[in-house]
Amino acid sequence: MLTYDGRLIWIGASIKDRPVAVPSRPAVSGAMLDDGNFVLYGADASVVWSTFASPTDTLLAGQDLVPGAQLFSSVSDTTRATGKYRLTNQQNDGNLVLYPVGTSNVAAAAYWDTVTFQIGFPLTLRLDASGVLYQANSNGSYTNNLTRPGAAKAGEQAHYRLTLDPDGVLRLYRHAFVSGGASKADVLWSTPSDRCLVKGVCGFNSYCVLDRDGQPTCLCPPGFGFVDASNAALGCTVNSSAGQCKGGQQDAAGFSMAPTPNMSWADTPYEVMGAGTSAADCQAACLGDCFCAAVLRDANDGTCTKQQLPLRYGRVGGGYALSVKTGGAANPTPGGSGRDTNHRSVGVGRATTIALVCIGVLACVALSALIASARLLRANWRILHRHVALANADAGEGLEEETAPMRSYTYQELERATHSFRDPLGRGAFGTVFKGALRNGEKVIAVKRLEKLVEDGEREFQREVRAIGRTSHRNLVRLLGFCHEGASRLLVYEFMSNGSVADLLFKGGASRAPAWPGRLGIALDVARGLHYLHDELDSRVIHCDVKPQNILMDAAGTAKIADFGLAKLLQPDQTRTFTGVRGTRGYLAPEWYRGAGPVTVKADVYSYGVVLLEIVTCRRGMEMEEAGEERTLMELAYECLLRGEVTRAMNSDEVVDAAAMERAVKVGIWCVQGEPESRPSIKSVILMLEGHLEVPFPPPPASY
């Protein structure tokens, strides 16, 4: 529809009016021309907008792709939203290049080009009426033909179009029309000819091979399985956990390296071992590094690079050996031809096998009995310990030894310190926090009074005291003491005078929020605190409720993580836990809602990603609601990232370092991926935010 104010809009049955064209001057009429160009005219009959000047995924004969313009593929043949690939004429050196959407205009991201970068000046891509596709400069003194003229048969009228198809292949089509209205279409030219060269044809952690018909097929490396077996193009996910990480080191026992030779992958390492590294040394380095998911080794010079998940752009061929870390010991196949005609040897082998099986069965029986006895002894000890702890609870015993050197306060002391709990600072899921003072007002404190039912409060109290009492980090709120008197359960924390990050970001508008360098510092403070909880404690801690309200600011402007009330401790040999849904909606990772799956520290990484985007943009994660249509901050941030306009996601006109903000937004989007395996570790988050690790362009977030 052409509106009264001169705009062209699309009206659909199930969507709001959507602008198609907003001309520089109001349009008063429109027309479809014979060459397929739809134009809008102004009051003076001049063209104010045209489809030829606004290409999408196709060029028609007579239409140009001028310097600075791009073609974008569609999602599919039936869904015309922007897809995964782009043909760009934005480079001023004359080179026409195919890239995945969202990548930078750099050689490492390209999968095809016209190799005309040596020209050194911009070129226009043109398709003429005879089907010739060529590049030319502004005055026509230089041309570079990409195709030859299409041969038209007698009685046929041919029309040509160049389309960047949803599969990332650029194709030149000829549509031949004959009398009576019949038509047929065929492909005159396409590139790349090897469809596995298209970056992203297979999803993360998968690689591409061509079948007999030249069609791409996606496969998983050893140790991985398809995300969706019915749609292999969605990629693969790791089948096993990478184990516990302690100071960057990992016990290699129970893990092995599964090599796949003659591969090509996007090489984005976080550590490079020099040329001449043997295959064994390359694999051993990965086995001992808990951050390493795989290694790539160049078969030519022996260069070894450590990789983290997700792996990208895999295909057969290329001279690299990929070795993936997998759980469980390797099962090598004995050498030989596989045929044995020596019956005596076979008989001896069978006898040996039977003997080994019998020994194994006896060993299993003995081991099972030993384990059962140990479990029974442990269960009896736990029951006894629990009875003793509960019996001493009223006297305040049972906790002081484990939480020393924290002080045990009486209820009367804390009641006096808080003036009978008169000044509440805030209320959480399990109780209210009050401001108080000790030593005649010299030391300001925060007292959290747990107010849940006795059973839940007891459990919550035990959990908080034991978890927080063992921690000591500049980015964690310090627990000073506790009260365990009768039915009263109180915790005493250091006082944080500058409130919460939620207050800084959302109270008083964006103008009250810290400037960009300060916000980035807050984001790094929070990441470092989580890194301590995830990787530097003997008992790994999942916070479970990372959100701006639980990040407090001290007098020096340092951000500290608070409220371990929902934290779940993991034993040293565990990396995941099964538990009920905990935390705050809007910050919860998708795996919480799936119910039957394991929850790992990657759930905290997801929550951190939402918080990071909020810190970067000064927007709430769920504030984008218009006319009943919900739109999350992560969706807005990703759309701005796709357009290369990340600063438009901000809730202010603040001038920021666009490159640093783009880096932070990319990290945030990686953190909120739907699959836990696709999210980075919090250690990698720190390295990326600090600029020590490259940040690849992320796939769409979980809600996209």
**Binding site for ATP: residue ranges?**
448
Active site residues: 545
Strands 18-21 and 29-32: unpaired
Tell me which residue of 269, 348, 399, 314 sits closest to 694, measured CA to CA: 269
How far from the centroid of its chain's Cα atoms is residue 255's Cα? 25
User: Kind and range of the H or E element at 282?
Assistant: helix 279-287
Task: Tell me the C-alpha distance between 232 and 202, whole Å.
Answer: 8
Strands 479-485 and 407-408: parallel
User: Kind and range of the H or E element at 387?
Assistant: helix 343-391
User: Kind and range of the H or E element at 191?
Assistant: strand 183-191
Q: Structure tokens of 651?
A: 């809730």
The answer to whether 639 and 617 are in contact (CB under 8 A) is no
Residue 606 Rama label (left phi>0; alpha psi -120 to 50; beta): alpha
Side-chain-facing half-sphere of 622: CA atoms under 13 Å? 8
Supply φ then ψ for residue 80, to 5 degrees. -95, 15
Q: Is 289 helix (H, G, I), strand (E, B) or coil?
A: strand
Supply φ then ψ for residue 701, to 5 degrees. -70, 175
Task: Tell me the C-alpha distance between 150 and 130, whole Å.
Answer: 6
The answer to whether 237 and 205 are in contact (CB under 8 A) is yes
Give binding residues as ranges.
448
How far from the centroid of its chain's Cα atoms is residue 561's Cα? 23
- Residue 698 carries which DSSP code? P
Q: Structure tokens of 6?
A: 């001169």
Q: Structure tokens of 566?
A: 């929902």
Strands 18-21 and 8-10: antiparallel
